């Protein structure tokens, strides 16, 4: 290894969010903000991801393409190899593209794995993002930032979210109350008076995720909040409905590239629920 490479390695933060991070989350999205974010493991998130370097550029590798940029949009399930954002004040939006209000992003991607974006259209969002970085932004305004981000990315206003069919809203509420391992399609379908196939179809169309994806999403936050109460990780993983701690680790890492023990650590992460 060269001297320069050794210096770069020694200077790299050992913790993925060495200066702390804030996560705003709800059933249909997530906004993570961190001064520094260093992830060096492959992931393929199920949602589209918009990354903004509010203070400085960051480095990103997706499907073999390397970028140094301040704004990028990555398609769902595209393989992200690494991201290095040191002192960048990075904001990361997770977008479920099946939802009607994010259809413009799906059209904008047009089959591309990653798009390098100009930063100027996002500059008006910086004051709110800085407030969010410190965890001071109200949850309702944090959710509004998603609509602004769609407009800044595509040049088009986001479509208003369609109201959920009452049967799908009931199914969503039932999933919210159940541990992951107790979510059964046949039981949900019977309780909302839909066939299993129709329930699957309507749920993905209106919620923006399959029932399985949505139930894993809810289990993630149920577990994270329970962990923050100081309980044992293994006990909490089982209560949230994961098979064991290894299963919980896999779901968290597949989603965020970060293990649950890190996200649940209040020394590094502040969690803000926006429901």
- From residue 94, alpha-carbon distances to 154, 194, 256 in Å are 16, 30, 10
- Please state, in angstroms and rounded to a whole number, the distance separating the CA atoms of residues 194 and 117: 42
How remote is the C-alpha of 214 from its chain's centroid?
Answer: 12
Residue 25 confidence class, pLDDT cut points 50, 70, 90: confident
Q: Which tens digits make up the pLDDT trace of 33-68?
A: 999 999 988 888 878 999 999 999 999 999 999 999
Among the ranges 33-37, 138-142, 154-158, 204-208, which has the highest mean pLDDT value? 33-37
Mean residue pLDDT of the chain comes to 88
CATH number of 3-154: 2.60.120.10
**CATH class for the region spanning 166-259:** mainly alpha
Instruction: Spell out the domain ranges in the chain.
Output: 3-154, 166-259
Q: Is 110 exposed, middle or buried (0-12, 13-18, 19+ CB in 10 A)?
A: exposed
- From residue 251, alpha-carbon distances to 24, 37, 129, 219 in Å are 19, 19, 27, 10
Give backbone dihedrals phi and psi of 53, rounded to 5 degrees, phi first.
-90, 95
Residue 22 confidence class, pLDDT cut points 50, 70, 90: very high
Q: Work out the number of other CB atoms within 10 angstroms of the CB of residue 203.
A: 27
């Amino acid at each position: 290894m060269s001297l320069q490479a050794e210096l770069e390695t020694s200077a790299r933060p050992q913790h993925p969010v060495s200066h702390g991070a804030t996560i705003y989350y709800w059933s249909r999205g997530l906004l993570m903000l961190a001064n520094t974010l260093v992830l060096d493991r492959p992931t393929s998130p199920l949602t589209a991801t918009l990354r903004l370097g509010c203070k400085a550029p960051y480095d990103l590798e997706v499907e073999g393409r390397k970028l140094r940029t301040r704004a990028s949009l990555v398609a769902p399930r595209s393989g992200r190899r690494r991201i290095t954002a040191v002192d960048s004040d990075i904001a990361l939006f997770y977008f479920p593209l099946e939802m009607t209000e994010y259809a413009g992003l799906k059209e904008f991607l047009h089959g591309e794995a990653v798009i390098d974006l100009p930063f100027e259209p996002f500059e008006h969002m910086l004051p709110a993002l800085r407030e969010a970085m410190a965890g001071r932004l109200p949850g309702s305004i944090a959710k509004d930032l998603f609509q602004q981000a769609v407009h800044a990315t595509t040049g088009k206003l986001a479509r208003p979210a369609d109201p959920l069919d009452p049967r799908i809203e009931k199914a969503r509420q039932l999933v919210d109350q159940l541990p992951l391992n107790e979510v059964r399609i046949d039981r949900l379908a019977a309780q909302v008076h839909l066939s299993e196939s129709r329930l699957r179809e309507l749920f993905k169309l209106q919620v923006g995720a399959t029932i399985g994806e949505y139930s894993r999403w809810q289990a993630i936050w149920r577990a994270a909040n329970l962990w923050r109460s100081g309980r044992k990780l293994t006990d909490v993983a089982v209560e949230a409905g994961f098979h064991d701690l290894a299963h919980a680790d896999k779901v968290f890492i597949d989603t965020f590239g970060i293990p649950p023990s890190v996200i649940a650590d209040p020394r590094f992460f502040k969690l803000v629920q926006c429901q």
